[in-house]
Amino acid sequence: MSYVLSSYVPNVLEQIKMRNPDEMEFLQAAQEVLETLSPVIEQHPEYHEQKILERITEPERVIMFRVPWIDDKGEVQVNRGYRIEMNSSIGPYKGGLRFHPSVNLSILKFLAFEQVFKNSLTTLPIGGGKGGSDFDPKGKSDNEVMRFCQSFMTELCKYIGPNTDVPAGDIGVGGREIGYLFGQYKRIRNEFTGVLTGKALNWGGSLIRPEATGYGAVYFAQNMLATRDDSMQGKVCTVSGSGNVAQYTVEKVNLLGGKCVTLSDSAGTIYDPDGIDEEKLAFVMELKNVRRGRIKEYAEKFSGVQYMEGKRPWDIKCDCAYPSATQNEISKADAQSLVKNGCFLVSEGANMPTEPEGVEVFQKNNVLFGPGKAANAGGVAVSGLEMAQNAQHTNWTREEVDQRLQDIMEAIHTQAFNAAEEYNMPNNYVAGANIAGFIKVANSMLDQGLV
Ligand code: NDP
């Protein structure tokens, strides 16, 4: 490779660091992707000539706005709202909204960047975006959440639309929040359109959307297991988080004959050696989705369960791990502990839950490692199917959507697997997913000129 081409990736990474010095999560995500693209750049000098890496790491548009609202005591509160419209070369921007006190520009830019490649892998025509607010829904009344969502959407509605940008849920944004956001959009714009996904069934939602990310992460794991003639049957699994993704991961693992023994939240982890069966999962769903309580209550309700305050699940012995809470929740030491205890598969339900040093540990130890942008793409894939149903004014059956989800997860696995083989990095799903996701977007950018 010529000197110019071989120094292209490091030079671009250096520029990104200089331009965005305080954006640690964004830099982490950009580095992870760009470092795997060198062999592609070597074969495609046109990406260098047209400065595709510089362009793909710069959002097309960043929107940041004030969100004022009144709490139940009548006091004025002010939060910050964001929407990152990262890349629209293969379709309208698409990606979730996150409401969490940790939300900042760096976290949303990392998520939007990942989303571009993930959406490309789904085989659907959707670009990448992400948004949210530092608003914390925890401990707020329904009325406070509604007033916040209405204020947030009053500004956001100027920038989104069914053919422009279609947000969905993420951490802290579930069915309740999507309802309030949709209601306010409809009221201001006076139009009933598929501007958000994750809607309820009565007003344009898709069957299987709530299940899609968790189910998809397990389907991706099944595809990885199949490369070793294995299945989920009898596998002991650890799961982190206890929200949307974690809940439906447990449900699907159970349906496929595996056993999940942990769940967690930001306060601690429960370890249930007997397994979280259907009845116990129903308790978790009520606890988390209706009463909005803490996972600790699980250990108080069921016998033989250990609660580990302030701990993550990664010291528990398992065959497969499903990190489904948040970014950087598996450190190098956590990865070592998982490997030492016999874990041989990790399917990332969350976005970037494993730190780069942890990924290295998994790869060195031949762990089947499904990175988030491939393994958790089921959520956005069914969001894409929700958009398709809205556009056709139709509803598909549960079986139809689930079958399409399974087909998409298989297609994502095949693309990542094949790209890794083609570029001489067999079984490296990180490189494979990055390369396959990138090529489609990069070629579309070339086709559309300098925009
Ligand atoms: P939820 O809000 O439903 O649940 C999040 C869970 O993770 C909660 O149990 C929460 O605990 C825990 N959590 C959040 N932040 C932290 C933290 N900093 N430390 C420890 N635990 C934490 O979110 P989702 O299940 O929707 O999302 C989980 C992950 O999956 C995120 O990374 C998200 O980006 C990703 N994802 C989600 C998709 C979706 O369709 N929903 C699609 C693709 C990816 P607590 O209640 O204590 O905060």
pLDDT tens digits for 58-114? 999 999 999 999 999 999 999 999 999 999 999 999 999 999 999 999 999 999 999
Residue 4's pLDDT is what? Answer: 73
User: Is 145 within 8 Å of 130 (Cβ atoms)?
Assistant: no
Residue 378's pLDDT is what? Answer: 98
Convert the pLDDT of each residue in 262-319 to its tens digit. 999 999 999 999 999 999 999 999 999 999 999 999 999 999 999 999 999 999 999 9
CA 241 to ligand 1 center in whole angstroms: 6
Interacting residues of 372 by C-beta distance below 8 A, sequence separation 6+: 114, 118, 348, 349, 350, 351, 352, 353
Question: Which pLDDT band holds residue 441 (cuts at 50, 70, 90)?
Answer: very high
130 counts as catalytic: yes
CATH topology of domain 212-375: Rossmann fold (3.40.50)
Using a 6 Å CB cutoff, which residues line ligand 1? Answer: 169-172, 174, 213, 241-246, 265-267, 324-326, 349-351, 376, 379
CATH topology of domain 61-191: Rossmann fold (3.40.50)
User: Is 147 within 8 Å of 137 (Cβ atoms)?
Assistant: no
Q: Is the pLDDT of residue 339 over 70?
A: yes
Residue 5's pLDDT is what? Answer: 72
Q: Whose CA is nearest to atom 46 of ligand 1?
A: 265
Question: Which pLDDT band holds residue 119 (cuts at 50, 70, 90)?
Answer: very high
Q: Is the pLDDT of residue 3 over 90?
A: no
> To the nearest whole percent, how much of the chain has pLDDT over 70?
100
Residue 167's pLDDT is what? Answer: 98
pTM of the full structure:
0.96
Sequence spans of domains, the chain: 3-56, 61-191, 212-375
**CB contact burial 77-114 (16+ within 10 A = b; e otherwise):** bebebbbbbbbbbbbbbbbbbbbbeebbbbbbbbbbbb
Q: Is the pLDDT of residue 2 over 80?
A: no
Ligand 1: nearest atom to the Cα of 372: 44
Across the range 24-38, mean pLDDT stands at 97
CA 171 to ligand 1 center in whole angstroms: 4
Among candidate residues 94, 109, 118, 130, the one labeled active-site is 130
CA 439 to ligand 1 center in whole angstroms: 29
Q: Whose CA is nearest to atom 3 of ligand 1?
A: 243
The CA distance from 214 to 382, in Å, is 12
CA 287 to ligand 1 center in whole angstroms: 15
Residue 6's pLDDT is what? Answer: 82
Fold agreement (61-191, 212-375): yes
The dihedral formed by the CA atoms of 7, 13, 19 and 23, expressed in degrees to the nearest 10: -170
Ligand 1: nearest atom to the Cα of 263: 9
Residue 1's pLDDT is what? Answer: 64
